């Protein structure tokens, strides 16, 4: 079934109340000849079995993930970025479905606060481990821990602006098209790439830059919990 056929059926079927196009086509970025059509579909709450019947296999030309409206509102956190900059194609809820999509694609104040604190804790932990690895000549361990630390830091700095961390595929595009308010995109990319080498000096450069933002946002206690090792993290 083509995307046009699928949407025509969706518009006629009263059980389907919302359809959003996600992925590369939903953002109109990194689209290629083999790009599929990723649809997230909401059906009326009394039709969960019908929602299950709409699911398609990964790799299908039209790839569908469907659930009830109630379940749609609490979509899995790991997949939240799917809804950032996505395209709503069907909304039979008078705009409420579009609002649900917008809420999933961003963070509420309370979500952002909790996520920033949790991700920052993970960042400082992995950073410390990587720097210790590097000091002992454990190059592979240093690079692996550096990669984990970078992932957590990216989640932190996006959460500080109430934004969902992009999937890695879209990070460069996100920074170019929707820059962070507190970071220069080119500088951030360079700092991340340097840190991913596992080199202690590069990781410390990134930490010193990030620490300024962290303290501005009232999360100094997360870093200061690492005393007496904070100077070690800074390289001072």
The pLDDT score that the predictor gives to residue 173 is 96
Please state the domain extents for the chain: 3-104, 109-234
pLDDT tops 90 at residue 33: no
pLDDT tops 80 at residue 27: yes
The CATH number of 3-104, from 3.30.450.40, 3.30.460.10, 3.30.420.40, 3.40.50.360, is: 3.30.460.10
* pLDDT tens column, 178-219: 999 999 999 999 999 999 999 999 999 999 999 999 999 999
* pLDDT tens column, 120-137: 999 999 999 999 999 999
pLDDT tops 90 at residue 116: yes
Helices (H) and strands (E) in the chain, counts: 12, 4
Name the pTM for this structure: 0.93
Please state the rounded mean pLDDT for residues 135-148. Answer: 98
Contact assessment for residue 10 and residue 16, using Cβ atoms and an 8 Å cutoff: yes
In the three-class reduction of DSSP (H, G, I as helix; E, B as strand; rest coil), residue 62 is classed as: strand
DSSP state string for the chain: --HHHHHHHHHH-TTEEEEEEEHHHHHT-S--TT--EEEEEEE-TT-HHHHHHH---TT-SEEEEEEEHHHHTT--GGGGGGGTT-EEEEE-STTHHHHHHHHHTB--HHHHHHHHHHHHHHHHHHHHHHHHHHHTT-HHHHHHHHHHHHHHHHHHHHHTTTBPPPPGGGHHHHHHHS--SSS-HHHHHHHHHHHTTT-HHHHHHHHHHHHHHHHHTT-HHHHHTTTTSHHHHHT-
pLDDT tops 90 at residue 59: no
pLDDT tops 90 at residue 34: no
């Amino acid at each position: 079934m083509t995307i046009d056929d699928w949407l025509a059926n969706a518009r006629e079927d009263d059980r389907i109340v919302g359809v959003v196009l996600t992925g590369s086509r939903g953002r109109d970025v990194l689209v290629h000849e083999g790009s599929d059509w990723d649809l997230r579909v909401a059906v009326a709450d009394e039709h969960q079995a019908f929602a299950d019947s709409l699911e398609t296999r990964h790799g299908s030309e039209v790839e569908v993930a469907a659930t009830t409206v109630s379940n749609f509102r609490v979509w899995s956190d790991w997949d939240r970025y799917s809804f950032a900059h996505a395209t709503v194609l069907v909304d039979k809820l008078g705009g409420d479905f579009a609002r649900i999509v917008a809420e999933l694609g961003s963070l509420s104040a309370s979500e952002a606060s909790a996520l920033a604190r949790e991700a920052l804790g993970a960042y400082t932990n992995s950073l410390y481990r990587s720097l210790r690895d590097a000091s002992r000549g454990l190059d592979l361990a240093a690079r692996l821990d550096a990669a984990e630390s970078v992932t957590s830091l990216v989640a932190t700095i996006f959460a500080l602006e109430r934004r969902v961390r992009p999937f890695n595929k879209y990070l460069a595009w996100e920074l170019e098209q929707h820059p962070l308010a507190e970071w220069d995109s080119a500088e951030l990319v360079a700092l991340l790439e340097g840190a991913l080498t596992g080199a202690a000096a590069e990781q410390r450069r990134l930490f010193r830059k990030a620490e300024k933002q962290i303290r501005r946002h009232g999360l100094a206690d997360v870093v200061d919990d690492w005393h007496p090792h904070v100077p070690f993290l800074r390289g001072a």
